[in-house]
Structure 1
């Protein structure tokens, strides 16, 4: 039986309608090709591990992404669509945007072999300057009204601040943004990150 993580069930259920069949398909292919794969959540999206990091998938407003941790060693540079979106397969809007099931499974098996052999992922060049985290004015104002929310937010790592900002900015309506803002300020005042429910104690 595959090691199923209920957080990934929740992630898929909360994804856009177009994304759910894509994510379910990817999940099934990974487990069929690698029955020993274990699911986990890292950086707020689903990952699959097998003797280390294997691959990951994510959904966004209008597309999904899928990629291998050692993708540079699996997929020819000419076929890598990493410039279009996260991962090596570009912006995935339907299952038809993915390679055939058999091809995808073959990639999974090659990725497993790399991990079996202890091959390290190629080094990733760090950007010359870190990506700036720009806090929207409405969030700054809301945090300032609730002690110690602003101090907690400023003490968060850039990644944790960015998770809250992206969650607010992705709201499709102003009403949704306001609900999220209220929830965000409450959690931040308590010192909680956006994904505190999924963090290991």
Structure 2
């Protein structure tokens, strides 16, 4: 049986409670299909290597987990689902295909690696959506708080978009006002919207 990477044990143990059964299930299936698989961490996520190439990987996030094949198009076919993986955003083991189907996919991925099949070149990503200007109430609040404004303007577009969407999603004026106040506090401390969930 292939050795288990203790870093992956730690990753699973420190993931959200809902994600742990998903990660454990996926890990067990990978080892069942490919007894000599090598475990490692790449890009901060558990990754499985076979025949000198990446076979698949998994990850846990705040509200979902993911599992995907490195050669997704050749193994599963079609475009990747929403949520960074081959099967979309996973919130329970039931969101995965049945065990038999996953084992079939894993064995196909193994054969591709063993044959030395190169991963297809990814198509150029679509141009990112333009970042909208902050709404008037948020813009005024930023203008009155130089530290928050400086942090906001220094963030990459993805971080700014997280704040904007969070504020704009508020249904009530009171909620929106509270979110703007909270955003200013976090920005004043140089924190991104998802700072609580960022791994060190």
Query: TM-score, normalised to structure 1's length?
Result: 0.65
Equivalence for 1:169: 194
1:72 aligns with 2:73: yes
Runs of 4+ in 1 over 4 A off after TM superposition: 128-132, 134-143
Match of residue 111 from structure 2: 113
Unpaired stretches in structure 2, ≥5 consecutive residues: 130-154, 161-183
* Root mean square deviation of aligned Cα: 2.7
Aligned to 1:27: 27
Q: 1:142 to 1:47 in 2, by over 3 A?
A: same
Name 1:151's counterpart in structure 2. none
Give runs of aligned pairs for residues 144-183 of structure 1, distance below 5 A.
Answer: 169-171=194-196
Where does structure 1 lack aligned partners over 5 or more consecutive residues?
A: 144-164, 173-179, 181-193, 196-201
Instruction: Map 1:180-191; keep pairs closer than 5 Å.
Output: none
SS at match of 1:87: coil
Distance 1:128 1:84 in 2: 15
For 1:139 and 1:128, the matched residues in 2 are separated by: 31
1:11-63 residue CA offsets vs partner (Å, 9 max, x unmatched): 10110000000000000000010011111111111100001110000011111
| TM-score normalized with structure 2 length | 0.65
Rounded to whole Å, the distance in 2 between the matches of 1:138 and 1:126 is 38
Larger Rg: 2
Superposed, 1:1-201 pairs within 5 Å as 1-51=1-51, 52-77=53-78, 82-127=80-125, 133-134=156-157, 169-171=194-196
C-alpha deviation, 1:75, in angstroms: 1.3
